[in-house]
Amino acid sequence: MTTPPIRPRGLVRRILGSPPLRILLLGFLLLWLMAMNGDVMTSYAAEPAKAAMHVLAIAIAGFAVYIGYAHFIEQRPVSELGLQGMGRQLGLGLLIGAGLYTACELLLMALGIYRITGLNPPSYLIPAIGMAISSSVFEELLFRGVLFGAVEAWFGSWAALVVSSLVFGLTHLMNPQATLEGALFISVEAGILLAGAYMLTRKLWLSIGFHMAWNYTQSAIFSGIVSGNDAEPGLIRSTVQGPDLLTGGQFGVESSLFALVLCTTTGIVLVVMAARRGKIVPPIWKRRA
C-alpha cells in the first residue's frame, strides 16, 4: 500500500496561512467573537446563567473558527487543541490556577490585609462563569494559539515568549481601572506562566485551565478586582486595607508582589521544563541551516 503524496498548498493558501496574515485574519475573527461575548454578558447581566450558556456557545464557535482556519487555510493538524490528555491538562490547570490565586489571598489574610466579613448566597458564584470562560478561551486562542504560534514560526520560541507576553499584558491597559504597572506585572507573571504552559505541553488546555480558574477564583470566590476591571461581588464579603504593593491597588491582586513572585516562579519552572524536554523551537533561519 502506497501513501499518496502530500500536495503543496496553493499560492493563496500560502499567503493566507503565513504568520502575518494568520495574526490579522484569524486574530480579527476571534476578536469579533470575543466582542460578541461582551455584548452577550451586558445584555444578559440580569440573567447570569443564560449569559454563561450563550458565552459557552460562542466559545465553541471560537474553537470551530480556529480549527477551520488551520484545516482549510493552513492545511495542518490542530495539535494544540488535540483531545488526547485534554481532561488531565485542563483539570491540572484549573487546580493550579485556583491554588495560585488562593495562595495570594491567604498571604494577605496572614498579614491582616484581607479580612473576611461575611458570605453572600451561593448564587453569587454564577455571574463570573461567563467572564471566566470568555477570557480564558479567547485570550488563549489569541495570544498563545495565534500570536505565539505565528511569531514562533519565524522567530522561534524565545521571541514568541517575549512578544506574546508583552502584547498580552499591554492589552489590559484598555480596562477601566488599568495601570501601566499592572499591565507590566501581567506581562511578566501571566505572560511567562501561560506561555510556559503552552511550550511545555504544546497544547492550549493547560493555559486555558490556568486562566479560567485564576479569573473565576479571583472574582466569584474572593470578590476581587480582575485585571483593572470594575469589581463584582462574589461569594466572600471582605475588606482590603494595605499597601498597593501587596494588594495590587485598583488593578487587583495581579498587580501585587505576591502574584508576581508566585506566578512568575511557576512560569519559569514550566519554561525550564520545556527547554529540558526539547520543546524549544529555534528561529526559521536556524531550522533551515
Q: What is the pLDDT of residue 289?
A: 64
Measure the CA–CA gap between 241 and 270, rounded to whole angstroms.
Answer: 33
Q: pLDDT > 90: what percent of the chain?
A: 82
pLDDT for 274 equals: 97
Specify the amino acid at residue 150. A
- Determine the Cα angle at 26 with ends 61 and 191, to 5°: 95
Facing residues of 115 across strands? 239
Distance CA 54, CA 36 (A): 10
Residue 178 pLDDT > 90, yes or no? no
In this predicted structure, the answer to whether residue 1 has a pLDDT above a threshold of 50 is no
Task: Express each pLDDT in 262-278 by its tens digit.
Answer: 999 999 999 999 999 99
C-alpha–C-alpha distance, residues 269 and 271, integer Å: 6
Does 185 score more than 90 pLDDT? yes
Mean pLDDT calculated for residue range 132-151: 96
Of 125, 269, 128, which Cα lies nearest the Cα of 212?
128
Q: Please identify which residue in the block is written with the cell numbers 494588594.
A: 247
H or E segment to which residue 166 belongs: helix 157-170
Exposure pattern of 8-28 as b/e (b: 16+ CB <10 Å)? eeeeeeeebbebeebbeebbe
pLDDT score for 133: 96
Answer whether residue 115 shows pLDDT above 50: yes
The CA-atom distances, in angstroms, between 192 and each of 20, 59, 212, 263 are 23, 24, 16, 8
The yes-or-no verdict on residue 5 having pLDDT over 70 is no
Confidence class of residue 6 from pLDDT cuts 50, 70 and 90? very low
- What pLDDT was estimated at residue 59? 96
The 10 Å Cβ neighbour count of residue 123 is 10
Residue 236 in this model has a pLDDT that exceeds 90: yes
Phi-psi region of 127 (alpha: psi -120 to 50; beta: other; left: phi over 0): alpha
Tens digits of residue pLDDT in 84-100:
999 999 999 999 999 99
Give the residue from 150, 148, 182, 185 showing the smallest Cα distance to 274.
Answer: 148
Query: What is the pTM assigned to this prediction?
Result: 0.93
Average pLDDT of 46-71? Answer: 94
Domains in the chain: boundaries:
84-288
pLDDT interval class at 8 (50, 70, 90)? low
At 4 the pLDDT is 45
- Going by their DSSP bridges, the two strands 236-240 and 114-119 should be labelled as antiparallel
Query: Which 3 state secondary structure label does DSSP give 118?
Result: strand
C-alpha cell at 272: 525550564
